[in-house]
């Protein structure tokens, strides 16, 4: 299991889609469900949805963390 991305089994559990049907693959049905649900994801070269674990568990990525503001030394009390 990856700490960064959901496994195929976890994607199936999340979407409720384990097999393809009506002429669509499992991955196509999962992508459609994810789009409808507003869950951010990427697709790899094979069309498999790739979901960052942080997209569903509420953790923020490093880029989303608040940055410490810098104060020029000229403005610091001395």
Q: Quick check: helix, strand or coil at residue 50?
A: strand
Maximum average pLDDT range among 31-40, 56-65, 66-75: 31-40
Q: Which residue has the tokens 């991305």?
A: 5
Asked if residue 63 is part of any domain, the answer here is no
β-pair partners for 52 = 5
User: Is a pLDDT exceeding 60 seen at residue 25?
Assistant: yes
Q: Is residue 78 part of a domain?
A: no
Task: Say how many domains are in the chain.
Answer: 1
Tell me which residue range forms the domain holding 35: 1-57
The answer to whether the predicted template modeling score (pTM) of the entire model surpasses 0.75 is no
The predicted structure's pLDDT at residue 77: 66
Token digits for 25?
């693959």
Average pLDDT over residues 7-24: 96
Would you say 36 and 49 are in contact if contact means Cβ atoms under 8 Å apart? no
- Over residues 16-26, the mean pLDDT reads 95
């Amino acid at each position: 299991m990856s700490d960064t991305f959901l496994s195929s089994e976890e994607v199936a559990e999340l979407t409720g889609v384990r097999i393809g049907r009506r002429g669509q693959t499992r991955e196509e049905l999962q992508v459609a469900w994810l789009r409808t649900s507003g869950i951010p994801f990427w697709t790899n070269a094979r069309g498999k949805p790739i979901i960052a674990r942080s997209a569903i568990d509420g953790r923020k990525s490093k880029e989303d963390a608040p940055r410490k503001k810098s104060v020029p030394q000229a403005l610091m009390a001395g």
